Structure 1
Amino acid sequence: MNDPVSRRALLAMAAALAPAAALGWPRAAGAQDTAAPAQAAPAAPQKFSFDVLSDEMRLLATKPHVTAPAPEGFLGDLNYDDYRLIRFRDDRARWAESDGRFQLAAFHMGWLFPEPVRIFEVTGESATEMQFSTDDFEYLNDLAKRVPEHAKLPGVAGFRLNTPLNRPDKWDELTAFVGASYFRALGRNSAYGLSARGLALNTATDRAEEFPRFSRFYMQRGAGDTITVYATLEGQSVTGAYRFIITPGTETVMEITCRLFFRQDVAELGVAPLTSMFLFSEKNRARFDDYRPNVHDSDGLRIERSDGDVIWRPLNNPTQLTGSYFAETAPRRFGLHQRDRAFDSYQDTGARYERRPSLDVEPMGDWGVGHVRLVEIPSDLEGNDNIVAYWVPEAPVKAGDAREFAYRLYWGDLPDDPTAPLAIVHETRAGHGGISGVEVQQGTRKFVVDFKGGMLAELEADAAVEPVVTIANGELTGTTLEKIADTDIWRLVIDISAADAAVVELGGHIAGYGRKLTETWLYQWINAK
């Protein structure tokens, strides 16, 4: 797997761009101020439909991949410090003069984003390219002197869409697409956190990870609160046509169809990939001298299986690269969740981790046999995105193959249903194994799992329930189960031992009265010295 720095850099820059653009920076004095912004000549419309776009990308897959040439002039000279001084002008937002529900702003190309992205607007059965120039951007401080005025740009790096998401009299950012095939969105009252990608290729395999990119976007505004975005995907091994039907709300929903055409064999295809950050929580904070109790964008992988069973796998920040596979047939949903919504759990007035969105993938149609894969990457910094999750189909991908997938993404708090019959995993804690006050034995570990809600909450402490615990590559040395007095929480305590460097797989739930009463808790522990 390639070092995740490239992924992290793209996402970090996208995160930096969004708040800066909303600050209303004063426009720098310079050459750009000598004349009113020029309107670029409109491009000629072209025939457009999703099928036409798909046919184009199918044909493109029969030809070798061509990388865009390096940008010339000032675009090729931009560095990190320069890029931070560029802002899209609020008064140049596309559709700002209309009475619609969306406005579009662009990200400037250059630096980490050297390849131009073209944006079109779809009207009826035709698409017209949006033209962008240096008049659309503010170049602060001395950078303004190096930028030619009224210069047409060959493209942009991506875009963001604004809408009155949180209140009717204020435009809020809804979604952003920038860098490779990365994108992210917000539900009502959310703050940006995890991201999604159009596709993951060869992640954590013996081949170099590929990052195909969205090269063109087509915007089709509807009459109501929905906007449709089409995109072309281009990469060394694949081309694709995408359709995103985006509906903002308490949970912002994206209905996605992707049609993929493969130039080369692929070691591993990751469908609907999600990318997040997990630094530490109650179960691993000993490595971090930090005043905050938790630092993470997501705290668990949730999988809703076809039979209604629910898996909750708490995330980890391991000391070595790890991968977990969850075999499934036609799962109902899977996603990365931020389950803990209390400010006291994070104590960060800037990052506001309690407001980071959860993100669920809901397959449309039968995805058949495959597995959800979770990749956890060691990290020492919260700026690093070190969690990846996606669907891997069972059937291998060969050159010349075509695949189509449809699914919905749900962005928002995604609270657990309080009326659901299964109790949820409320908290996971971990520490040295054995008995408190006794010398610690190496190779032991204690896990404390709290379950809350569901039918279990109504049971008395002496109810006929029992823990069901499994372990692989280790030894189970003890389990206890009790209801915490004056609460509706049941606590399962698991003690284990394992050999040095062992990768231990754990599972547990509570059962009683002939049925399962909780989600299935799963965990991976590495006995590293």
Structure 2
Amino acid sequence: MTRPSHLSRRTALKYGLGGVITLLWTQARAQDPQSQPAPGATPPAAEPAPAQPAAPPTAVDLNAFSFDALTAAMRNRAAQPYQEPANELPQPIADLDYDHYRRILYRRDQTIWANEPLNFQMQAYFPGFLYKAITRVFVGDGTHFQPQVFSGANFEFLAPLDPSVFQNIQLPGVAGFRLNYPIDRPDLYDEIVSFLGASYFRALGMNNRYGLSARGLAINTATTTAEEFPRFTAFYIVKPQPSDETIQIFAELEGPSLTGAYAFNLRPGPQTIIDVTARLFFRGEVERLGVAPLTSMYLFGENDHSEREDFRPEVHDSDGLFIQRPNGERLWRPLKNPDDLALSYFTEASPKMFGLMQRDRDFSHYEDVEAHYELRPSLLIEPLGDWGRGAILLVEIPTESEANDNIVSFWVPEEKPKAGSQYEFRYRMHWGMLPDPLTHLATVAGTYAGVGGNAADTSDTGLRRFEINFVGGTAQNLPVDAVVVPVIDVPAEGARLVHSGISRLPNGGWRLSIELEKLNASPVELRAKLSFNQRIISESWLYQWTGRP
């Protein structure tokens, strides 16, 4: 399938001191992914251009590599003062702006492993523009690694760039890399994962288009302390064997406050699975540690209408935060684009699963033939092992543009890291058109919000109405005359429940209607679920209602 290929101005945002949103990182494809034909579909590709400068410094012995050795090296590095990365880029590269940088493509005939009978192929991102802090790539068998060296000869430079200026430059490193795999068609290698910028990466399941992103780590996000963006400084990629359906990647992470050793085991499929092990070593105290951070975009949707005229009914990469608690309770929190920075905390002890989902897969709900938001992947995080006590934090940042990633979510351990702290987190990432985890409970299929009161009354009633659709599960099989009872929690100090009701939907699901009056300007945390014969038959709907009465 065709996926967006040009460098766009999709950005990740940080919320800085004083509430100022600042541009941080352009989250996009820096070059055309140039989907590759499967081996045998085209003439053999040329070998990558030779380039053999001196091997760059490494944290570990390249001839005796192991994850434990990488861990020890990063632990030792954490005991040393942090050093800002040197600007190692030649002047022509350092001077690239957005318009020129997007004219640089990786050459198809330079694709790594393109002429070998492997299920994976690799391409690199050219450094420059926002990616001046380069990363280094090593390839090996898991024990022995060699530097994968790139030069200008690996790339194509389109007008108005002068190729002669760049083609003979030996690159000290690259901005990142991507892996291709025949995920949608056996005769076509499509991009399935991309590591680009700081510790950002994103992946695809079958029939997906890029949407939300992940990060290796979040440091001091949405605090009064300046946010840090540690970066992957080196990758060690284990070359797969011809029959391998998985690929293993190790990475060094470094930032002012910490170092880390990461292991990624990636398995493409209808759901692309990435198993992650993160071992972290802290140089200093951190105000807020964000584990398994997710970054997405929500501009407007069914519960949060756009204030400007837009032909599209909804625009978002994700429409809700999903949490599955250890006791089996399932929570669904619809996303919104708030007027002010909004933080929501979900306290938990070692959650079973959490993540940002795109549940709505109906094209008619988006009507966008270019962006195809209905094809954006969901991403669920499945913690492995005991994560202890902490909270899932949801950060919602005001935005007026779909180019801005304004949604962030991650796990915050209860104990703040201090100098000398060491942590290990293991988790499994599920990317793709994910069905909801199997359950007998009805799930929230839609949240609709608007003015309350009598529809014929045009005066300002001061009421707000929420309509929540629950579908699926055993509730779908109840008879029409079943007595389903809503369980609604409205904090008495913030709002007053004026009316509630239950109706049967045409598709067999159930509609919960609630009408509320706001009592003050403080945010109100709403909660609702359905019961039948004193048994809970739905997941819990959560909503943060902001605004003035």
TM-score interval for Structure 1 and Structure 2 normalised by the shorter chain: over 0.9
Displacement, 1:218? 0.6
1:115-148 per-residue CA deviation (whole Å, 9 max, x = no partner) reads 1110001224111111110101111113225624
1:77-130 per-residue CA deviation (whole Å, 9 max, x = no partner) reads 111111011011111111112111111100011110001110001224111111
Which of the residues 1, 22, 40 maps onto 2:34?
22
Higher alpha-carbon deviation: 314-323 or 286-295: 286-295
Which of the residues 111, 121, 134 maps onto 2:139?
121
1:54 counterpart SS class: helix
**Cα distance in 2 for residues equivalent to 1:128 and 1:346:** 47
Structure 1 residues 4 and 86: CA distance shift in structure 2, 3 A: farther
- Structure 2: gaps spanning 5 or more residues: 1-14, 37-46, 56-61
2:84 counterpart SS class: coil
**Cα distance in 1 for residues equivalent to 2:202 and 2:121:** 16
User: What's 2:238 paired with?
Assistant: 220
- Structure 1: gaps spanning 5 or more residues: 25-35
Displacement, 1:37? 7.6
Whether the 8 Å CA contact 1:157–1:178 is kept in 2: the answer is: yes
Which of the residues 384, 394, 402 maps onto 1:364?
384
Whether the 8 Å CA contact 2:120–2:240 is kept in 1: the answer is: no
Q: Is the helix fraction higher in 1 or 2? A: 1
TM-score by length of 2: 0.90
Whether the 8 Å CA contact 1:262–1:401 is kept in 2: the answer is: yes
User: What's 1:491 paired with?
Assistant: 511
Structure 1 residues 42 and 126: CA distance shift in structure 2, 3 A: farther
Whether the 8 Å CA contact 1:74–1:147 is kept in 2: the answer is: yes
Displacement, 1:328? 1.0
Residue 506 (1) aligns with residue 526 (2): yes
Aligned CA-pair RMSD:
1.8
Which of the residues 440, 455, 464 maps onto 2:483?
464
Whether the 8 Å CA contact 1:428–1:450 is kept in 2: the answer is: yes
**Cα distance in 2 for residues equivalent to 1:372 and 1:517:** 24
User: What's 2:8 paired with?
Assistant: none
Displacement, 1:300? 0.5
2:476 counterpart SS class: helix
Displacement, 1:462? 2.3
Whether the 8 Å CA contact 1:238–1:261 is kept in 2: the answer is: yes
1:165 counterpart SS class: strand
1:241-268 per-residue CA deviation (whole Å, 9 max, x = no partner) reads 1000000000000000000011110001
Which of the residues 159, 162, 183 maps onto 1:144?
162
Whether the 8 Å CA contact 2:66–2:142 is kept in 1: the answer is: no
Which of the residues 392, 403, 411 maps onto 2:431?
411
Which of the residues 376, 382, 390 maps onto 2:396?
376
1:492-518 per-residue CA deviation (whole Å, 9 max, x = no partner) reads 011111135221110000011121000
Whether the 8 Å CA contact 2:35–2:190 is kept in 1: the answer is: no
User: What's 2:65 paired with?
Assistant: 48
User: What's 2:118 paired with?
Assistant: 100
User: What's 2:278 paired with?
Assistant: 258
1:431 counterpart SS class: strand
Q: Structure 2: which amino acid aligns with 1:477?
A: V
Q: Structure 2: which amino acid aligns with 1:136?
A: N
Structure 1 residues 100 and 4: CA distance shift in structure 2, 3 A: farther
Whether the 8 Å CA contact 1:499–1:527 is kept in 2: the answer is: no
1:290-318 per-residue CA deviation (whole Å, 9 max, x = no partner) reads 11111000000000110111000000000
Displacement, 1:43? 6.3
1:190 counterpart SS class: coil
**Cα distance in 2 for residues equivalent to 1:77 and 1:216:** 24
Whether the 8 Å CA contact 2:49–2:154 is kept in 1: the answer is: no
**Cα distance in 2 for residues equivalent to 1:332 and 1:124:** 31
Displacement, 1:455? 1.1
Identity score, percent:
46
**Aligned positions, number:** 511
Whether the 8 Å CA contact 1:434–1:440 is kept in 2: the answer is: no
User: What's 1:10 paired with?
Assistant: 26
Which of the residues 463, 468, 482 maps onto 2:503?
482
**Cα distance in 2 for residues equivalent to 1:167 and 1:242:** 31
Q: Structure 2: which amino acid aligns with 1:333?
A: M
